[in-house]
Amino acid sequence: MADTVASRNGTPAASAAGFVWGYRYGLLLVVLPLLLIAGGKAGFVSNFQFLQLSLMIVYAIAVLGLNLLTGFNGQISLGHGAFFAAGAYTAAILIDQHNWPLWATLPMAALVCFFAGYLFGLPALRLEGHYLALATFALAVAVPQILKYRHLEPITKGVMGINVFKSDPPFGLPLSTDQWMFLVVLAVAAFMFWIARNLLDSRTGRALIAIRDHSMAASTMGINVAHYKAVVFGISALYTGLAGALHGVIFEFVSPDSFRFELSIAILVGAVVGGIASLPGAVIGGVFVQVIEKYADALTKQISAAVQLPLELDPWLIYGIVLIALMYAMPTGIVGGMAVLWRRLKAMRGL
Amino acid sequence: MGLCKTLLAGAGALALAATAASAQKKYDEGASDTEIRIGHTNPYSGPASAYGQIGKTIEAYFKMVNDKGGINGRKITFITYDDGYAPPKTVEMVRKLVEEDKVLFVFQTLGTPSNTAIHKYLNGKKVPQLFVATGASVWGKPQEYPWTMGWQPDYQTEGIIYAKHILANVKDPKIAVLMQNDDYGRDYLNGFKRGLGKDADKIVQVATYEVADPNIDSQIIQLKNSGANAFFNITTPKFAALAIKKAHEIGWKPAHYLNNVSASVGSVMKPAGLEASQAIVTAAYLKDPTDPQFQNDADMGTWRAFMDKYYPNGDKTSAFTTYGYAVSSTLAEVLKRAGDNLTRENIMKQAASLKALEVPLLLPGIKINTSPTDFYPIQSVRLQRFEGETWQLFGDVLSNEAD
Amino acid sequence: MEQLLQQVGAGLANGAIYASLALALVMIFVSTNHINFAQGEMAMFSAYIAWQFMEWGLSFWLALPLVMALSFTTGVVIERTILRPLHGAPVLSVVVVFIGLLTIFHALAGGIWTYTIKAVPSPFPEVAFPGSGYIGSHQLGMIGVTVIVLIALFTFFRFTPLGLAMRAAAQNPASARLAGISVDWMLALGWGLAAAVGAVAGCMVAPAVYLEPNMMASILLYGFAGALVGGISSPGGAVAGGFIVGVLENLIAYLGNVVERTTGLYIVGNGEKLTVALVIVIAVLTLKPSGLFGHVTVERV
């Protein structure tokens, strides 16, 4: 399963991943947030909209983590919500029980999740395809229960969860908390995407892709498959855990109910819908995760108001239909679909 | 000239009256001459989606109110979002309600973790978090959280009442407890232990289950083998039915106390089997729509007519729909009393000064009482025992005077 | 000892639930090489339809074949309309389509029949039999039906030309096509059969745990684990795997409880039994990746 995932999927999305991170994009990354903040000051962009933007970026980081594992290394995971939770709890516990400042908790959460991922990745080496799917599925289901484990309760606070105090903007910056968090999240994301980009361009990145495309061939070329696979699991968990830490801080609250199995599914769906082996695909996936449910909910209400149905309309019905329609129209995700569309347009102009 | 003067004076008086009236009309964000905006979140999807019926009932209730001309001439705009029983989503949706939809207050947000996640935010913003849908005991603390108020009897009080009843009625009690492994189960158990006091060691076995467990046979076997002669069953409807059925199947006959959450004839006792359900004791504050004794009850008749007209797809055997109706009626009364002074402060003030209010569908003798220091609207329950195919009330109206 | 036997009995009863879903999962895997994550929800939906038939006055044994036929048709239609266009798509896209199907069936069931639990009467008479203190008559009947389905599937795949053709189509589509097998229709047939087997599972499970839209959601993971631990390509293994998971889980809780009672030390309890059972299952799989009863597949490079 894992092999086919990647080999069939790689090409169109990867070609679309030829996203140039030149200075123009760097400039955009500075100008755009400044414009948004100015918009916020002038009252065009509300705090709630900043929250929405922050969440899209947070999910984009989480999806990127899964992308590195599944898209670029061919290992499937139905359980990335577990690492998301690990990151969130690490940050929450450090802030709440040890009074750490926000900036210090993020590297710590990343580190903890890297090791968690690496350790999970080691036995997972022997598991491929469906077996890995089961192991990660199990992880996602088990995590909320582990958080409630009696002997961990003094640290995790069990079912009641932990309230986290969000840090106010430092140095007396004239920003609202939401605007400040948006900037923090954006900076972290830009940094992490830059790292991912460089990683994939490096020797390591080429080794990962070689393993995905043909692990046996890769090992004959002298690539230490076991080592790379476990490390990439760790890196992937690091990304998703970092996203979790930011998520916990944004909401000022973590609890076992915040990180149920549905979260893992949402991350997986985001990765696939965006485009599985592509950095821009991760951004699109993050946006998708954040908006789809609200969209489905709103649409459901409109339909229910417009027509009298003999049954209760459920937003998840719309959600399911959207997923199937998207996969039908763009089997390799939105980025892949765009690439195909772009080539067709070019071909038409060529004629 | 004289006429002119009188006219002028009259006009002056009129103008004065008008200013007086507009001076009385006070609005915070979310209220106006024509509208009151109410925000609400509910799990319409996810593991707790059964509770979605509460939201739909409330929505239907205010549609009925609007059809009848609204409250003091104002239409109710009831905005409800799905939070999937996930606290982060509740935070997000509640912020949307307050910051984008500009609601006057938030009503009936459901679940202890979800309410814990939003109650600092709402109290910081001074937006009422009214009649939250959880029986946790942390909501009635006006000193710390003056903008948050519960509604139903809290789980701790109920737990205390069962504990006292067991101590008074079961000879040499050895108690087994089955509980859902979350905040709700924990709260009941804590109250129960408090009620037992020094007899807390009479609990011989506690077994937990997860909402995701397919069934709980293993737990019931464990409890039976502990040799217990009393059983406190802290479960949601499906698991309550499974527990009652399994206990009956393996011939375990303890004095059975079932939490109020699952005291529905239609969705628990009947599916579990009437024979298996005999003599189970529970505490109640609402009339059960599936109980034959309320077949001809006037409140029930009104409720049925409401369901037929405004929520025809709704489940008339579910206790969630009666709950939604009763809590909406309470809110409607608060808004009526607030009159034209629709500030957030006045909403809280009115909600905190209900005296012996009778709300439809509450059991006879149970009334709503609040004060600036008492943020627990319903504090009393009545014990009832299952006999034949109906609940039989016994004893007096009970409340937890110890607190 | 008494309790131990009761716990094993209850574990076997749960095992039968997992085994019946695991069979449907194996069914679709053998014929399409996919794990259908929507299988549980489809089985739940079938059980609702059976319940609806019974509400309209049909007996259980009349409703069951009707629902199986309906589910078979639905399975074939889903394959032909929704999955057919995705034959060339990446596996992960297919997984997302399964997730889409899962939410659709779940939402439809909740919308049509609400989330209030429904009691489904057991089709088996309640009679006393040796050992009835340890396992209920419905549970015993459920185990019997699972075994019957298993034997039927085994015979079908092993001895009928159609069954052989289906396996050939899944294992080596190119050669199968050359041998004149209509691979496309074999896939559709696989979906139909899996849906029918799932319908049996749903109708057997519903009386045991009550019918509601979330009925199968939690069972899916157990069924999946059972299917894999037994060997995903072997129906017999899947059934054995289901029973193993069911018994294992109860034994963990039981032992944890015994330890706590004797030493006062809490190590595992009901809250952790699933986690521990899964850890054991996964540990077994890392040591024996093809499952306890599966064949090692040799891949040609």
Per-residue pLDDT of chain C (301 residues; tens, 9 = 90+): 788 998 999 999 899 999 999 999 988 888 888 889 999 999 999 999 999 999 999 999 999 999 999 999 999 999 999 988 888 888 889 999 999 999 999 999 988 888 888 899 888 887 777 777 778 888 889 999 999 999 998 898 889 998 888 888 887 888 888 888 888 888 899 999 999 999 999 999 999 999 999 899 889 989 988 988 888 888 889 999 999 999 999 999 888 888 888 888 888 888 888 888 888 888 888 887 777 776 655 555 4
Question: Are A160 and B116 an interchain contact pair (Cβ–Cβ within 8 Å)?
Answer: yes
Pairing outcome for strands B341-342 and B26-27 = parallel
φ/ψ of residue C122, rounded to 5: -75, 140
Domain annotation covers residue C294: no
The SS3 call for residue B393 is strand
Complex-level ipTM beyond the 0.85 threshold: yes
- The most distant pair of C-alpha atoms in chain C lies apart, rounded to whole Å, by 67
Return the number of other C-beta atoms located less than 10 Å from residue A235's C-beta.
25
Q: Is B316 an 8 Å CB contact of chain C?
A: no
Question: Are B120 and A252 an interchain contact pair (Cβ–Cβ within 8 Å)?
Answer: yes
Q: Is B219 an 8 Å CB contact of chain C?
A: yes
Name which of C116, C118, C214 is nearest B47 (Cβ-Cβ). Answer: C214
Q: Is B169 an 8 Å CB contact of chain A?
A: no
Domain of C25, in residue numbers? 2-287
The structure tokens 């599944």 sit at A70
Which residues, 6+ apart, have CB-to-CB distance to A160 below 8 Å? Answer: A255, B112, B113, B116, B183, B186
B400 falls in which pLDDT band (50, 70, 90)? low
Residues of chain A with C-beta less than 8 angstroms from the C-beta of C35: 130, 133
DSSP letter at B104? S
Residue numbers of A between 152 and 211 with CB closer than 8 Å to C = none
For chain B, the domains span: 35-152+295-372, 155-284+383-399
Q: Cα(C298)–Cα(C253) distance, rounded to whole angstroms?
A: 38
Question: Are B210 and C117 an interchain contact pair (Cβ–Cβ within 8 Å)?
Answer: no
Q: Does an H or E element contain C20, and which?
A: helix C2-32
Residues of chain B with C-beta less than 8 angstroms from the C-beta of A315: 44-45, 82
Q: Cα(C106)–Cα(C118) distance, rounded to whole angstroms?
A: 16
Domain count, chain A: 1
* Mean pLDDT value across chain A: 84
Return the number of other C-beta atoms located less than 10 Å from residue A48's C-beta.
17
Token pair, residue C170, equals 């899944």
Q: Cα(B97)–Cα(B106) distance, rounded to whole angstroms?
A: 8
Residues of chain C with C-beta less than 8 angstroms from the C-beta of A323: 96-97, 99-100, 103
Domain annotation covers residue C297: no
Query: Looking at the domain B35-152+295-372, which fold is it?
Result: Rossmann fold (3.40.50)
φ/ψ of residue B106, rounded to 5: -110, 140
pTM, entire model: 0.88
The residue ranking higher by pLDDT, A130 or A25, is: A130
* Mean pLDDT value across chain B: 88
pLDDT at A23: 62
Instruction: State in Å, rounded, how far the first CA of chain A is from the last one.
Output: 39
Q: Is A273 an 8 Å CB contact of chain C?
A: yes
Task: Please name every residue paired with B76 in a beta bridge, in sequence order, or none if there are none.
Answer: B36
Domain annotation covers residue C247: yes
φ/ψ of residue C46, rounded to 5: -60, -40
Position A145: which residue type? Q
Orientation angle between helical segments C161-171 and C137-159, nearest 10 degrees: 80
Token pair, residue B63, equals 């549609």
Lowest mean pLDDT among A177-191, A205-219, B111-125, B266-280: A205-219
Pairing outcome for strands A253-254 and A162-163 = antiparallel
Name which of B45, B218, B267 is nearest C116 (Cβ-Cβ). Answer: B267
By the 8 A CB rule, do C249 and C18 touch? Answer: no
pLDDT in tens, B72-84: 999 999 999 988 8
Task: Please name every residue paired with B257 in a beta bridge, in sequence order, or none if there are none.
Answer: B232, B281
Domain of A343, in residue numbers? 2-350
**Gyration radius of chain C's alpha carbons:** 20
Residue numbers of A between 95 and 134 with CB closer than 8 Å to C = 123, 126-128, 130-131, 133-134
> Does B265 score more than 90 pLDDT?
no
Residue numbers of B between 303 and 342 with CB closer than 8 Å to A = 313
Question: Are B213 and C117 an interchain contact pair (Cβ–Cβ within 8 Å)?
Answer: no
Domain annotation covers residue C293: no
Domain annotation covers residue C48: yes
DSSP letter at B26? E
What's the CATH code of the domain at C110?
Answer: 1.10.3470
What's the CATH code of the domain at A164?
Answer: 1.10.3470
Q: Cα(A145)–Cα(A257) distance, rounded to whole angstroms?
A: 10
Domain count, chain C: 1
Q: Cα(A57)–Cα(A253) distance, rounded to whole angstroms?
A: 19
> Does A47 score more than 60 pLDDT?
yes
Instruction: State in Å, rounded, how far the first CA of chain B is from the last one.
Output: 71
Query: What is the domain class of B155-284+383-399 according to CATH?
Result: alpha beta
Q: Is B146 an 8 Å CB contact of chain A?
A: no
Q: Cα(C229)–Cα(B207) distance, rounded to whole angstroms?
A: 28
Residues of chain A with C-beta less than 8 angstroms from the C-beta of B112: 160
pLDDT at B20: 44
> Does B221 score more than 70 pLDDT?
yes
Touching chains, B (3+ CB pairs < 8 A): A, C
Domain annotation covers residue C296: no
By the 8 A CB rule, do B103 and B81 touch? Answer: no
3-state helix, strand, coil in chain B (%, to 5): 45, 20, 35
